[in-house]
């Protein structure tokens, strides 16, 4: 061979070895992930006996306690019946709900008793009233432990008008958080092992060994190719290693990683989250882990819109052709969403009478349609001719697109007017509460205020979500859809803030410090707005943080978190390259397939199986982690096979 060919082959060898090392690194990460999951399964799934169901109960007691329940015996030494009521600390201005009645003591020193099952998810306040004359005897806040056994003694003091209430622990509760602690430690250990492994693989000595091993094999391949192996076609170096994704070389890995983080948590939460309360949606105001992920997904969708439209305009696509694609993709997303959330075909024929219309993919479709259409009106294909030295350059990414900002602010003005000025029969104007037993039961049928009213008026009660999360604590009975019409306006705002993140990346490209500082400034600005709107409280602000309503403060709060998280992921993945984004990167590359797949195959093995103890957090957590990990592994295999589902 000539010297030029040898030099070229040497460069090819180095490139191939580098790509192989990257591929081996991905396999290394996935092997560690699988090993960690296997360890969690081995630790958390333990033999379960029937005695575990009645842990802490007296031998004569046959009450079977479920998850998040405890056993309470009320001992009454008074000569009058006592009504026992309760209310959760998470229930704002709520009516007490009655547990039951304890009869009067038969004789002095011989107390009567009543047995009850109480919730252990949150602290509750017990109230004891005498009957038939309702006189409050005592009020006692207490946080019961799961499957604990407790006694509440009600005694009369020397003063006839004074009473003493004391809770005694008969049997200690179980620690239901150990399984999730074990899972956290195992995955934290996985991350540590991965970091140490990458550090070792980055040493010059190890690199030299891998290069010599890989180089000798590649040299032999190149020699064979020069001799002309029969029936062999010479391909580019990256053809069998990198997926065929558009603009792969310019694709920011951090964006797919961010999307993957949101998606993986969303799948885990949808599968049950181990049945822990903080992996379920908040009943009304406030935030849990489950309330974070959907807005983040909408946010990063807006970022991708900005980068994608800019790339297509630079490639020569016309705005009309792109608008047609946007319309078609939005329609596809909407229809897929309707099919996914109406799986009644397993229970019989579908009926239009109770077909649910709003949903997650439907809201994504609406947000995508509006934000992409707005961006198409003002997006610039060539940004390199814009000056960065003028006094107004720090606001370049906003000033250049002022028409879209006006449109979004107008939409937000419409949301505020409808929310706070639209009259709703039987409800106070501007009501943002859950109805039910909230607000002292004054507005039982006012769940969601204007948002609920608009959905029931436009879509009909039978076509919206029938079991909202407000039923859990507030005992509401009105249908209410968290993906309803009015909240979709604020989802547009969330996607538009993500679009703004994309504009920052475009205008300050290759200037990492400027990009990250802008992200942090936006995060701080939105955080201040949230603090003002909520008065730094859960329920007493002007506009509380509320996922069901997709309130303005909910959007600003979650957008604040999104900008900060994006800074961290961008810095570690794309700037410093300390982290490859695995394993979240792979589902982020196939987000639509993973989301639709996890909804459609939710009830099938290996995503769900019959458990030996359905009241075990450990077994639920294991099942949900296995199901989520299956989708991570599927997305990894599809990534290796270069299969990407785009619509």
Residues designated as active site: 281
DSSP percent split of the chain into helix, strand, coil, nearest 5? 55, 10, 35
The first and second tokens of residue 5, run together, are 């060919």
Cα gap 86→84, rounded to integer Å: 7
| Cβ–Cβ under 8 Å, residues 70 and 148 | yes
The radius of gyration of the chain's CA atoms, rounded to the nearest angstrom, is 30
| Cβ–Cβ under 8 Å, residues 367 and 492 | yes
Reduce the DSSP state of residue 284 to 3 states and report it.
coil
Q: How far from 120 is each of 84, 181, 184, 399, CA to CA, in Å? A: 17, 19, 22, 52
Bridge-based pairing state of the strands 149-156 and 163-171: antiparallel
| Cβ–Cβ under 8 Å, residues 69 and 115 | no
Packing angle, helices 487-507 and 402-421, rounded to 10: 160
Counting Cβ atoms within 10 Å, is residue 248 exposed (0-12), middle (13-18) or buried (19+)?
A: exposed
Distance from CA of residue 492 to its chain's centroid?
A: 18
Q: What is the 3-state secondary structure (H, E, C) of 212-260?
A: HHHHHHHHHHHHHHHHCCCCCCCCCCCCCCCCCCCCHHHCCHHHHHHHH
Alpha-carbon dihedral sign for residues 244, 248, 253, 258: negative
Cα gap 530→543, rounded to integer Å: 9
Which one-letter DSSP state was computed for residue 286? S
Q: Which residues contact 582 (CB under 8 A, 6 or more apart)?
A: 26, 29, 30, 33
The DSSP line for 588-624 is HHTHHHHHHHHHHTTTSTTT----S-TT-HHHHHHHH
The DSSP line for 535-555 is TTSSSSSSS--BTTTT-HHHH
End-to-end CA distance of the chain: 48
Residue 399's DSSP bridge partners are none
Q: Which helix (H) or strand (E) holds 587?
A: helix 585-589
Reduce the DSSP state of residue 73 to 3 states and report it.
strand
**Residue 156's CB: how many other CB atoms inside 10 A?**
16
Reduce the DSSP state of residue 139 to 3 states and report it.
strand
The first and second tokens of residue 526, run together, are 């939105």
Cα gap 64→96, rounded to integer Å: 25
Q: If you search the block for the tokens 């992930």, which residue do you land on?
A: 33
């Amino acid at each position: 061979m000539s010297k030029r060919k040898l030099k070229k082959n040497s460069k090819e060898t180095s490139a191939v070895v580098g790509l192989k090392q990257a591929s081996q690194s991905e396999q290394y990460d996935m092997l560690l992930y699988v090993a960690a999951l296997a360890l969690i399964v081995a630790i958390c799934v333990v033999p379960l006996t029937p005695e575990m169901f009645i842990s802490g109960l007296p031998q004569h007691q046959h009450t079977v306690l479920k998850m998040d329940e405890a056993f309470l015996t009320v001992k009454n030494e008074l000569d009058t019946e006592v009504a026992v009521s309760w209310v959760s600390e998470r229930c704002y201005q709520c009516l007490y709900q009655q547990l039951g009645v304890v009869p009067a003591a038969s004789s002095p020193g011989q107390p009567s008793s009543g047995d009850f099952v109480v919730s252990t998810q949150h602290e509750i306040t017990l109230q004891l009233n005498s009957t038939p004359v309702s006189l409050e005897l005592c009020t006692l806040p207490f946080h019961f432990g799961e499957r604990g056994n407790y006694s509440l003694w009600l005694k009369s003091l020397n003063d006839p008008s004074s009473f003493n209430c004391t809770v005694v622990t008969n049997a200690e509760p179980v620690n239901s958080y150990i399984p999730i602690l074990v899972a956290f430690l195992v995955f934290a250990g996985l991350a540590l092992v991965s970091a140490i492994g990458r550090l070792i693989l980055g040493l010059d000595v190890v690199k030299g060994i891998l290069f010599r091993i890989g180089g000798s094999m590649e040299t032999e391949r190149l020699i064979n190719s020069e001799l002309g192996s029969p029936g062999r076609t010479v391909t580019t170096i990256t053809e069998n290693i990198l997926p065929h994704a558009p603009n792969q070389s310019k694709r920011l890995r951090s964006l797919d990683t961010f999307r993957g983080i949101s998606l993986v948590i969303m799948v885990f939460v949808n599968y049950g989250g181990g049945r822990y309360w903080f992996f379920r949606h908040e009943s009304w105001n406030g935030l849990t882990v489950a309330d974070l992920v959907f807005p983040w997904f909408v946010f990063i969708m807006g970022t991708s819109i900005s980068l994608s439209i800019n790339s297509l305009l630079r490639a020569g696509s016309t705005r009309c052709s792109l608008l047609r694609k946007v319309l078609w993709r939005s329609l596809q997303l909407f229809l897929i969403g309707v099919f996914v959330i109406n799986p009644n075909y397993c229970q019989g024929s579908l009926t239009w009478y109770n077909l649910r219309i709003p949903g997650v993919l439907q809201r994504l479709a609406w947000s995508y349609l509006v934000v992409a259409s707005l961006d198409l009106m003002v997006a610039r294909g060539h940004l390199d001719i814009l000056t960065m030295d003028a006094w107004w350059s720090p606001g370049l990414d906003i000033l250049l697109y002022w028409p879209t900002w006006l449109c979004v602010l107008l939409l937000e003005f419409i949301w505020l007017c409808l929310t706070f000025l639209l009259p709703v029969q039987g409800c106070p104007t501007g009501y943002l509460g859950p109805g039910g037993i909230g607000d002292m039961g004054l507005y039982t049928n006012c769940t969601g205020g204007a948002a609920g009213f608009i959905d029931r008026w436009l879509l009909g009660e039978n076509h919206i979500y029938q079991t909202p999360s407000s039923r859990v604590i507030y005992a509401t009975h009105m249908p209410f859809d968290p993906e309803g019409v009015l909240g979709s306006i604020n989802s547009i705002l969330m996607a538009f803030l993500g679009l703004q993140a994309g504009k920052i990346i475009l205008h300050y490209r290759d200037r990492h410090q400027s990009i990250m500082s802008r992200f942090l400034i936006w995060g701080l600005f939105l955080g201040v707005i949230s603090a003002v709107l909520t008065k730094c409280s859960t329920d007493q602000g002007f506009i509380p943080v509320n996922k069901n309503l997709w309130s303005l403060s909910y959007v600003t709060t979650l957008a604040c978190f999104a900008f900060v998280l994006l800074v961290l992921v961008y810095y570690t993945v794309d700037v410093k390259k300390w982290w490859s984004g695995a394993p979240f990167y792979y589902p982020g590359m196939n987000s639509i397939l993973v989301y639709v797949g996890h909804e459609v195959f939710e009830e099938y093995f290996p995503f769900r199986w019959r458990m030996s103890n359905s009241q075990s957090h450990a077994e639920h957590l294991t099942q949900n982690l296995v199901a989520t990990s299956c989708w991570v592994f599927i997305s990894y295999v599809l990534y290796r096979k270069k299969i990407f589902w785009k619509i």
